[in-house]
Structure 1
Amino acid sequence: MAGKRLRPITRDQAVNAIANGTRACIHCRPDTDLGILE
Structure 2
Amino acid sequence: YGGKWVLSQAHILFLDSIIIDQFKSYLGFQKMPEINIIKNQ
Task: Using structure 1 for the length normalisation, give the TM-score.
Answer: 0.36
Higher relative contact order (CA 8 A, sep 6+): 1
Greater Rg by CA: 2
